Structure 1
């Protein structure tokens, strides 16, 4: 228990200490966010805000977890996914910000990199923790056999990109992620997987500290560097705790953000131009419906807290 609390506090303090150093450095390098024209017009005022602030989260959380975690296979999977997807996000940000190519990595490049890392992580986790998954609200585990590999690759890719999609408003992805990692703190304690709890605590602390500079009006954005790293950590914890169905509940905000995009695209194509939502991901729909940004973020945080609570109940 001490290591979990210490990891959370270390992640928090490191994040708070790194922010005043990193933000001026990012400004000096002119790593400012370019706001796409097709987004809400109100977001144009955010153009030039430093991005790639996810580096703060990565350094703070990884440092804290290295100090307090046991170096076992669980740690290896989570750290590799956290840093690996963070590097993919960093490359994407670098192309956007430094090379001035607004769309970043090409779609096929991103898919190849994410798929390759997902395949490696899934096979490694299958050999380390097995191929069974927990059924929520029961003590039942279902062995997926070799179907585990394609299924969990889909889960990893889905959560990584869902967190990335959620990162569209000041503090939104940071706050929603906090509640998901709190679930993993509880899950690690209940399943006697201390490494999971410690790493999740480090991430929780780092995100709380990051919110000081990421909440509206944001002084820095996490960028794809941060959102993909968070998605990587989240999906890796799903792998080692064998809990994709639990996270479907606890991380429902991420799921709904992704589903809104899928539904919009399919409906748009099927109806030749009609839309279900005013704009997706769905947080933009609420913005364009008259909610101010802070209200959208706070309501999504509240929903995340409820889903996280139900997720914890599902494993008791």
Structure 2
């Protein structure tokens, strides 16, 4: 129990800091007009301040400061020791977190263009990779004792991985408490893996992330009084991606790389479905729509709380599956992974996640190609036309 005492303190510090700072952050968000106003794409029916990520970030900062203080004054195990398989500059890694939060906060206030926001994410990921946070080689799953060296590719692969992980949380942030709760489930799961692997840095960061997420849920669960905003959603995704990389060796087994992806399986599947859905609709993959998991559940008749709790249960199932994979042999791992994948795909198909909700439509009045949604009469007309064409081709 004594070995877990520092982690309890770190989680508690993150929890209390975030809990105390959310109210002033709400006032700040309103002051700078970082507010989500009701619209067709949004579920909220009244203006809600965003930029809650600042309170989450403050919780992480205080937790890290406590970890350093505990190491100096109370002989806590240091999380800032050289990584057993990576040479990491933790201060440079901290700078990357500042960049991602700053990018999100600016977007919350001024609404950046997608390219500018992506540039901020890439900059943060590049700094993180420059700090030494990379996987240098992967164990060859087909030949025992062999390694596949990534060489210079380790850096761009790390950048792409972190940017992707950052965005999967951002994309699923559509209902009160959804992204925060998913991140809490993922972080506590990754904490258990980090402790078992003896990764003190990953364990400290993940337990701090868990504490701050639980505190933020106090204000963010339905009915939410504040949203994460991009400052929070980008931070949570970036932090989870960082923890997942800290938890593996520089020479990583394929399984150790798959486990964090399984833990974040729900937002990953939702992101994949969004790409497929928008490609099928012939629109940009960056074009927002209401076809995400949370939207589909609402359309099925669930209210916000029910939809969020169902997704939580799905995430917990995947987390338990990942924990099981971490403890069994290769044959059992394959069976468990296949079962989790089959169940997730079946659920996705049941919710029609891969079916388009956005289409292009030529408007004869404006003489322009416009995007239509199921709410527009043009969408129904296209459905009827498509059905008519199918029948006509069938007769031919």
State the TM-score, normalized to the length of structure 2. 0.68
Instruction: Quote how far apart the aligned CAs of 1:25 are.
Output: 3.9
Which has the higher Rg, Structure 1 or Structure 2?
A: 2
Instruction: Quote how far apart the aligned CAs of 1:9 are.
Output: 1.2
Rounded to whole Å, the distance in 2 between the matches of 1:188 and 1:167 is 26
Work out whether residues 77 and 236 of structure 1, in 8 Å CA contact, stay in contact via their aligned partners in 2: no
Is 1:314–2:319 an aligned residue pair?
A: no
Query: Residue 208 of structure 1: which of 211, 214, 224 is its match?
Result: 214
Work out whether residues 166 and 234 of structure 2, in 8 Å CA contact, stay in contact via their aligned partners in 1: yes
Q: Which runs of 5+ in 1 are unaligned?
A: 96-103, 271-277
State the TM-score, normalized to the length of structure 1. 0.84
Rounded to whole Å, the distance in 2 between the matches of 1:140 and 1:254 is 33
Query: Residue 131 of structure 2: which of 115, 119, 124 is its match?
Result: 124
Q: 1:127-149 CA distances to partner (integer Å, 9 max, x unpaired)? A: xx65135799x999754333322
Change (3 A) 1:111 1:262: same
**1:54 matched residue in structure 2:** 53
Summarize the alignment of residues 226-305 of structure 1 with structure 2, pairs less than 5 Å apart.
226-242=232-248, 243-269=256-282, 279-305=290-316
Identify which of structures 1 and 2 has the higher relative contact order when contacts are C-alpha pairs closer than 8 Å and 6+ apart.
Answer: 1
**2:36 matched residue in structure 1:** 33
Instruction: Quote how far apart the aligned CAs of 1:20 are.
Output: 3.1
Instruction: Quote how far apart the aligned CAs of 1:123 are.
Output: 3.8
Summarize the alignment of residues 63-142 of structure 1 with structure 2, pairs less than 5 Å apart.
63-69=62-68, 70-72=79-81, 73=88, 75-76=90-91, 79-95=94-110, 104-126=111-133, 130-133=135-138
Rounded to whole Å, the distance in 1 between the matches of 2:26 and 2:140 is 43
Work out whether residues 139 and 146 of structure 2, in 8 Å CA contact, stay in contact via their aligned partners in 1: yes
Instruction: Quote how far apart the aligned CAs of 1:152 are.
Output: 2.2
Rounded to whole Å, the distance in 1 between the matches of 2:16 and 2:311 is 26
Work out whether residues 169 and 297 of structure 1, in 8 Å CA contact, stay in contact via their aligned partners in 2: yes
Change (3 A) 1:135 1:106: farther
Q: 1:69-112 CA distances to partner (integer Å, 9 max, x unpaired)? A: 533537446533433211111111110xxxxxxxx211221222
Q: Which runs of 5+ in 2 are unaligned?
A: 69-78, 82-87, 249-255, 284-288, 328-396
Aligned to 2:25, the other structure's residue is in SS state helix
**2:373 matched residue in structure 1:** none
Rounded to whole Å, the distance in 2 between the matches of 1:140 and 1:55 is 44
Provide the aligned length of Structure 1 versus Structure 2: 294
Rounded to whole Å, the distance in 2 between the matches of 1:15 and 1:53 is 9
Work out whether residues 163 and 228 of structure 1, in 8 Å CA contact, stay in contact via their aligned partners in 2: yes
Instruction: Quote how far apart the aligned CAs of 1:59 are.
Output: 0.3
Work out whether residues 51 and 231 of structure 2, in 8 Å CA contact, stay in contact via their aligned partners in 1: yes
Instruction: Quote how far apart the aligned CAs of 1:309 are.
Output: 1.8
Instruction: Quote how far apart the aligned CAs of 1:27 are.
Output: 3.4
Change (3 A) 1:111 1:17: closer
Change (3 A) 1:299 1:84: same
Change (3 A) 1:262 1:77: farther
**2:386 matched residue in structure 1:** none
Instruction: Quote how far apart the aligned CAs of 1:289 are.
Output: 2.2
**1:7 matched residue in structure 2:** 10
User: What CA RMSD, in Å, does the superposition of the two structures yield over aligned residues?
Assistant: 2.6
Rounded to whole Å, the distance in 2 between the matches of 1:167 and 1:261 is 14
Work out whether residues 4 and 198 of structure 1, in 8 Å CA contact, stay in contact via their aligned partners in 2: yes
Q: 1:219-240 CA distances to partner (integer Å, 9 max, x unpaired)? A: 1001000000111111112222
Moved more, 77-86 or 217-226: 77-86
Is 1:182–2:188 an aligned residue pair?
A: yes
